[in-house]
Each structure stands twice: as C-alpha cells, then as structure tokens.
C-alpha cells in the first residue's frame, strides 16, 4: 500500500541512507525529508533523491511548531521517523543547550503535532548511549531493552530525555510510537568529525590520527544499511510502545579500527597520535539484539571486514563530497577541538 513517510534529519548520515533505502525498496512511497541543514546536514548528499518525483525536501527545523504543523497538514504522513538530532558527543560537551533544544524539545514538538493531527505512527531513532557504558573486564555483559538508562554525556542525556518523553506520551496519550536504540553506525555519508571517517580522511591526507586516551574504548559497529533495514522492519511490523535494541555483536577497540584503516590504505602507524581523553569517555558499548531478532526476524547482513572495506572505498570514490565539507567551517571546528591536543 502506498504510504507517505516523513524522515526528519534525512540530510545527515543515517537519515540519508534511510531515504535511499526507502526510495529503492518502496517505489510507490512518498518520502518527505525534513531537515534544517545544520553543519551536519548536506543537501549534496540528497542529490540523487532530489531527482526522484516521490521525494520532497523541506528545509525546516523540527523545533518550529508552526512550520511542522503546516507541512504535516499538507503531506498527511502515515509515519514520521525522527532521525533529526545533534549527534556528536564532543560537541555536546561544548554546547549542551543546543542538544537539549533539538533532541528533547524537537522530539516533543514533532510528537505534539503528530497527536494534534492524528498521525497514525511515530518512530524515534535513539542510541545505545542512553544505557551508559559497560566495563571492559566484563565481556559477558550487554545492553538489553531492560537495562536502566544511565547516561554519561550531554548528548546521551538528551537522547535519554527524548526516549523518556516518547514513553511518557505512549502511556499518557496512547501515542503510537516505537523506539530503536542502535549501536555505532559506519558507512557512506558519515560526517568527517566521527571516528571512522575522520581517521580515513586524515590518513589519506597524511595528517595525525588523534586517538583519545589509551585507544582501548570499545564500540559495537554496525553497517548503516543494516540499521536502515531494522528501522524499516520496526515501522512496518514493530509493536507500539516497544523499544528495540539494534546491533550486530561487532565490538572493536578504537585503536584496532585505526590500525585496520591504516593497513587498508597502506599508511604508516606512525600517524597514530594519542591525545587527551574525552571527558567522561564511555568505556564499552555492546548491544544484545535478541529481541529484534526473535520478534521481527532482523539480522545484520554486512560483516565488519567487508563493510569497512566498502566504506573506505566509498571515501576514496567520493572525495568531492568530503573535501567540500572539510574545506569550510569544519576547519574552524577541527582547530578548536584538536588544535591544542
């Protein structure tokens, strides 16, 4: 059946991959991207989508209630999927307020408009970071959907705040929402400030690779396409009021990822530079994806060893995309964050 799906934050990393996934898989769906194009949103990412008559882009802030209401009244979406967020932990340590505004109040605004207009379905894209971190010496421990929220950074606190609000709306108003909490994603269109693209690009430019602390922090990496498929399943078959953890049991220490990237690119490990640790740095994230597997049949398809090679190749083939980004305002950010590290 034909559906209209609003994708907020669709000009960012995961949102844009989701837009492409949906346009390809559902040729009769209308996909409406709502994005205010912060530093992390890039219209050039959506160039191919913009050629598709089933796609519309609206430059709108999710906190702008009036504009969101007008747009939703016009489009009458069947489903709203909220990816829009401030997403970088290091930036949240510098400017927490912006994170609360977008991530908490933006979510509230979207849900209020959905309620007012009786939009039948809402999905909140959340993160495993809401569970805090796990110790490195307890590899038997994983985050399940029942793990208490226990945040470390202003970013994760703002995402947890949004999750709590979504659950409160489900209970209080019978709001038809689901939540997914995914582990770290990697793949095409990943903004260069995040670990994997930053290391690929610095290595290609023979610049130092800044590893925080001892480099032993562990993240659970998932290829972005697998995350998109999980959300696709949840919005079509998920149960209202439920939370689904998404992850592929692929834990890696940061330093091992950095060494792998250098090896793939034929660059020297001398480029690795250990720098001052992130404040409050989470040690380990690890998702237990049993629920989404047993209830919805989701399993990750891309193995890390293949996904990382595909990703490196993508960055080699799309220099124009990231060169444009790193030549602008990003330079100032890089100087500010890494200049004296």
CA-CA distance, 24 to 77, in Å (whole number)? 19
Q: Are 205 and 267 in contact (CB under 8 A)?
A: no
CA-CA distance, 297 to 229, in Å (whole number)? 11
Q: How would you classify residue 142: left for phi > 0, otherwise alpha for psi between -120 and 50, otherwise beta?
A: beta
Strand partners, 34: 8, 58
Closest residue to ligand NAD, based on beta-carbon distance: 12
Q: Which of residues 99-138 bind ligand NAD (CB under 6 A)?
A: 102, 106, 125, 127
Q: Is 62 in the site for ligand NAD (CB under 6 A)?
A: yes
At residue 303, φ and ψ (nearest 5 deg) are -75, 145
The count of residues interacting with ligand TYD (CB under 6 A) is 12
Q: Is 248 in the site for ligand NAD (CB under 6 A)?
A: no
Is residue 169 part of the annotated active site? The answer reads no
At residue 192, φ and ψ (nearest 5 deg) are -60, -5
Locate all alpha helices (DSSP H) within 29-151, ordered by sequence. 65-75, 89-94, 96-99, 106-116
Q: Is 183 in the site for ligand TYD (CB under 6 A)?
A: no
Name residue, tokens 């400030």: 193
Contacted entry of ligand TYD, ligand NAD, none for residue 121, CB cut-off 5 to 8 Å set by kind: none
Nearest to 8 by CA among 106, 105, 138: 106
Q: Is 298 in the site for ligand NAD (CB under 6 A)?
A: no
Kindly state the greatest CA–CA separation across the chain: 58
Nearer to ligand NAD, 159 or 284 (CB): 159
Catalytic annotation, pick one of 35, 128, 193, 225: 128
Catalytic annotation, pick one of 86, 129, 163, 282: 129
Contacted entry of ligand NAD, ligand TYD, none for residue 35, CB cut-off 5 to 8 Å set by kind: ligand NAD
CA-CA distance, 89 to 139, in Å (whole number)? 24
Residue 220 structure tokens: 């659970």
Q: Is 91 in the site for ligand TYD (CB under 6 A)?
A: no
Q: Is 210 in the site for ligand TYD (CB under 6 A)?
A: yes
Nearer to ligand NAD, 12 or 238 (CB): 12
Q: Are 175 and 122 in contact (CB under 8 A)?
A: yes
Is residue 155 part of the annotated active site? The answer reads yes
Strand partners, 218: 253, 284
Q: Which of residues 171-210 bind ligand NAD (CB under 6 A)?
A: 182, 184-185, 191
Is residue 112 part of the annotated active site? The answer reads no
| The one among 254, 272, 304, 333 contacting ligand TYD by CB under 6 A | 254
Q: Least distance (Å) from ligand NAD to the CB of residue 51?
A: 19
Q: Which of residues 8-37 bind ligand NAD (CB under 6 A)?
A: 8-9, 11-15, 35-37
CA-CA distance, 57 to 49, in Å (whole number)? 9
Interacting residues with ligand TYD (CB under 6 A): 89, 184, 194-195, 198, 210-212, 217, 219, 254, 278
Residues taking part in catalysis: 128-129, 155
Interacting residues with ligand NAD (CB under 6 A): 8-9, 11-15, 35-38, 40-41, 61-63, 83-87, 102, 106, 125, 127, 159, 182, 184-185, 191
């Amino acid at each position: 059946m034909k559906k209209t799906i609003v994708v907020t934050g669709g000009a960012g990393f995961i949102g844009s991959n989701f837009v492409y996934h949906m346009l390809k898989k559902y040729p009769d769906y209308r996909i409406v991207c709502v994005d205010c194009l912060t530093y992390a949103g890039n219209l050039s990412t959506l160039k191919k989508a913009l050629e598709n008559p089933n796609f519309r882009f609206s430059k709108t802030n999710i906190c702008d209630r009036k504009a969101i209401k007008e747009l939703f009244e016009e489009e009458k979406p069947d489903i709203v999927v909220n990816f829009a967020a401030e997403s970088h932990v290091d930036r949240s340590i510098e400017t927490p307020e912006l994170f609360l505004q977008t991530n908490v109040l933006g979510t509230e605004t979207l849900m209020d408009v959905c309620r007012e207009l009786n939009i039948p379905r809402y999905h909140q894209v959340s993160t495993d970071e809401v569970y805090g971190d796990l110790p490195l010496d307890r590899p038997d421990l994983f985050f399940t959907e029942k793990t208490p929220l226990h945040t470390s950074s202003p970013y994760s606190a703002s995402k947890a705040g949004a999750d709590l609000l979504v659950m409160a709306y489900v209970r209080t108003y019978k709001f038809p929402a689901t939540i997914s909490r995914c582990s770290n994603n990697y793949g095409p269109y990943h903004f260069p400030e995040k670990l994997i693209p930053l290391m690929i690009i610095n290595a290609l430019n023979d610049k130092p690779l800044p590893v925080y602390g001892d480099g032993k922090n562990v993240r659970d990496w998932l290829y972005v396409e697998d995350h998109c498929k999980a959300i696709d399943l949840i919005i079509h078959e998920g149960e209202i009021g439920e939370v689904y953890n998404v992850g592929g049991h692929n834990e890696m220490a940061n330093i091992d990822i950095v060494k792998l990237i250098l090896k793939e690119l034929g660059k020297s490990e001398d480029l690795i530079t250990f720098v001052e640790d992130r404040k409050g740095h989470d040690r380990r994230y690890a998702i237990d994806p049993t629920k989404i597997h047993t209830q919805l049949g989701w399993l990750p398809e891309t193995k890390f060893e293949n996904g990382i090679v595909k990703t490196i190749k993508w960055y080699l083939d799309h220099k124009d995309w990231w060169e444009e980004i790193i030549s602008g305002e990003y330079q100032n950010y890089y100087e500010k964050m890494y200049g004296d590290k």
